[in-house]
Structure formats: structure tokens, C-alpha cells
Amino acid sequence: MLKEWNKISLLYSMEPLMRLPEEIYCIKPHSYESLGAPYGNFASPWWLRKEVIRRLLLAEDLLRKTVPHLRLAVFDAWRPIRVQKFMYDYSINQECLSRGIDPISDKDTPALVDVVKLVSRFWASPSFDKSNPPPHSTGGAIDLTLATNDGNLVDMGGEIDLITPVSDPDYYLQSALTGDNFSASLWQLRRNLLANVMKLSGFVQHPNEWWHFSYGDQMWAWSTSATAGLYGSVDDDDSESKFIIT
């Protein structure tokens, strides 16, 4: 399913993908690799575009200056499109399982259409169309949360990749404004903190996901009123692989 930002044109920058530097904390083992996502021998989820890494380091520095006992914790970064397809299909199958739907025998039924529509709010279609690449396949999108300096993840009021309204960045805002629920207020405060340091570093936030931020992709261009996105997809098995620096 196409999103509004898929209408934005792309410049197809040849800026390379690079490994995340050691000062950025990555949550390991990687969740999708543990599920069997087909990264292969060469690909790694811990890569981003060079400029995206620079801005991520700015966000890390800003967070540490604001709240010294916290750091950024990266959950996921670059995904080859085959990994995007694996996780998209996996999420649909898991949602079907929870609803008692058979994705094969119930194909094209309203129940399955509803599942696909819900999952597509959180997971981009694994499109091989160069004009509307999945955000994570561009190397411009990142999923992350907060952690303490010793690596303990901070409770944000909902797990990453949770396909429910709880994932909305401002889900706890009303409770925070009324002050009638301390935990909800704390979760909203933490989400705001993460969003603020990322936005001040040039990223934009996904409207449905508190953990997803991007720079240079179509969603970033759409959110900032830029005339075009900077990054197309990068796959390790196509001609653009030469722009991956290991």
C-alpha cells in the first residue's frame, strides 16, 4: 500500500552506506536476524547512509548533554528489500494467527484485507519499484529507543514493532496533560525526549511509530516540504552495492 510520501520524487544520491560507529549502542542480538530474516553473509542491519550517521551522532551528543545518564539504543537500521519482505509477511502471518485467520484459505476476504491494512500502517510494502522504496531499504531510516549508560533499555510504554495504537508517538499525551497517571506521563516524557533530540538533529518521525525516524528518504521530504527525497533503495545484490563501505 502506497503512502502519501511515496509520491515524492527521488534524487538517488550515491552517498555510501557505512557501519554504525562503536559509540552508537546497537541492541544485540538483532531481533530480525534471530527470527531468520535473510540478511545473508554480507548484509548487516547496522548500516546507514554517511550523513544519517553524522546526524545520529549529533542526536546522541545532544541527548547526553540533556540527560547524561541516557543514551540512544538502535533497534534496527538498514534492511535489504528481501528482509523487508520477510518481516512484512511475518507480521501479516502473526496478526492472522492472533485473529484465527488462515492467510491462504481466507485470501481476498475482508478479514485478511483488514489485517494487511493494519500491518501496512507500520510496515512499508517490500516494493522493488525504485520510485517508492521501503524507508529502511534506503539507509535513511532508523528504529531506536533510549537506554541507560550501562545498556539497560528504558520503558517507553510500548515495545518497538507493536501493531496497536499504543505505538502512536503521542498515545499517552492526554494522560500526561491531565497528570492522572504517573507511568503514562513518564512514558510520554521519554518519547518526547527521544523525538526532540532526533528532530533537532534533522530527522523526522513516523506518524504511527514512536521509535521510527528518518533523514533523506521520501517521508523526510514529505514532512519537511522538500522538493525531493535524497535516497533510493540500496540492496547488496544490485549495482548500487559498490556504495556500501564495510
Residue 240 binned pLDDT confidence (cut-offs 50, 70, 90) = very low
Beta strands in the chain (DSSP E): 9-10, 17-19, 25-26, 47-49, 70-76, 141-148, 204-205, 212-214, 228-229, 244-245
Residue range 215-235, pLDDT digits in tens: 999 999 999 999 999 999 998
> What is the separation, in whole angstroms, between the first and last Cα of the chain?
33
Cβ neighbours of 64 (radius 10 Å): 15
Whether residue 2 is predicted with pLDDT greater than 50 in this model: the reply is: yes
Mean pLDDT of 98-103: 88
DSSP helix/strand/coil, 170: coil
pLDDT at res. 242: 55
Mean pLDDT across the chain:
92
The residues spanned by each domain of the chain are 4-79+141-245
> Hey, which residues are catalytic here?
209
pLDDT exceeds 50 at position 91: yes
For residues 122 and 224, is the Cβ–Cβ distance under 8 A? Answer: no
Half-sphere exposure of 124 (CA within 13 A, CB side): 29
What is the sign of the dihedral through the CA atoms of 116, 74, 84 and 126? positive
- CATH fit for domain 4-79+141-245, picks 1.20.1050, 3.30.1380, 3.30.70, 3.10.450: 3.30.1380
Q: What average pLDDT score do residues 119-127 get?
A: 92
- What is the spatial distance between Cα 240 and Cα 14, in angstroms, rounded to a whole number? 8
pLDDT at 157 over 60: yes
Query: Confidence class of residue 107 from pLDDT cuts 50, 70 and 90?
Result: confident
